Amino acid sequence: MDTTNPSAAAAGTFTIGGDIEVNRLGFGAMRITGDGVWGPPPDRDAALRVLRRALELETNFIDTADSYGPDVSEELIAAALHPYPEGLLIATKGGLERTGPGRWPRNGRPEHLKRACEGSLRRLQVERIDLYQLHSPDTDVPYAESVGALKELQEEGKVRHIGVSNVSAEQLAQARELVEVVTVQNRFNLTDRASEDVLELCERDGIGFIPWFPLAAGDLAEPGGPVSEAAERHDAGPGQVALAWLLARSPVMLPIPGTGSVEHLEENVGAAALRLEDGEWRAIADAVGG
């Protein structure tokens, strides 16, 4: 597969919230931080190059969070890309705190979410966040209170659109009773499709579905597996096949693979041009009962 000039636009576009059109293959900015998504990256200049190269490849949807670093990912995005070009959507999230590498305690208290949003506005150097997402429900806080805090931020003009993450179908319905939810970000990949019911709701109602951890392929990528066989036929990598499968799964699917390497970024974006045959797509789906 030729990836010398990959383009995220080849996968088509999706309009978030009825007014923000993005290329469906985005970029997740978690991996531009240090090990354990903690602290600065080992090579700051390399991280900046990845972000700038993403835009050169027509990626116009970048997803981040205040907890990535913490703060580091948002600061790097601003350092690399501000002033932001027209048409670039930078989405961020609040609702998780960091107490060390690999530790992500939840905090859905309204006062915390409002402080988190203010911090993201400052680090990203914007007056309004176009897509602000509640990172996760907090079992110690009524979900309606957390979502209500985002509604207040939206009413204050600090947030344009609201998304939710790591939710069940019931939690999504509860959030939609309070605000217009334009995106859902749940874990979803070839081998983990536990959020199929949420995806189907998003597809039915035109809500963007952002699958996190999208590159996982597990045993399907082993030699002789359906992902490996499709990759060989298309002269592609297993990760590209995994992304192509997701893009073909639903028109509301917005994968956000992340990396700290320009080479890996280019490989990921190249997946937008890969077209799986119906038989290949079904063989992969059937391999894990989907």
Question: Does residue 163 have a pLDDT over 50?
Answer: yes
Query: Phi and psi of 148, rounded to 5°?
Result: -60, -35
Phi/psi class of residue 213: alpha, beta or left (left: φ > 0; alpha: ψ in -120 to 50)? left
| Catalytic residue of the set 68, 84, 132, 143 | 68
Tens-digit pLDDT profile for residues 106-138: 999 999 999 999 999 999 999 999 999 999 999
pLDDT at residue 5, as a whole number: 43
Dist CA 145 CA 123 (whole Å): 25
Active site residue 68: yes
Task: List, in order, residues 6 or more apart from 30 with CB less than 8 Å away.
Answer: 37, 64, 65, 68, 73, 258
pLDDT at residue 1, as a whole number: 37
Q: In the Cβ-directed half-sphere of 63, how many Cα atoms lie within 13 Å? A: 28
pLDDT at residue 165, as a whole number: 98
Nearest to 94 by CA among 105, 108, 104: 108
Which of the two residues, 259 and 5, has the higher pLDDT score? 259
Domains, the chain, with CATH or none = 8-216+252-258 (3.20.20.100)
Tens-digit pLDDT profile for residues 37-74: 999 999 999 999 999 999 999 999 999 999 999 999 99
Tens-digit pLDDT profile for residues 215-233: 988 888 999 999 999 999 9
Q: In the Cβ-directed half-sphere of 188, how many Cα atoms lie within 13 Å? A: 30
Tens-digit pLDDT profile for residues 67-110: 999 999 999 999 999 999 999 999 999 999 999 999 999 999 99
The answer to whether 213 touches 189, Cβ cutoff 8 Å, is yes
Dist CA 55 CA 7 (whole Å): 10
| DSSP secondary structure of 201-222 | HHHHHT-EEEEESTT--GGGGS
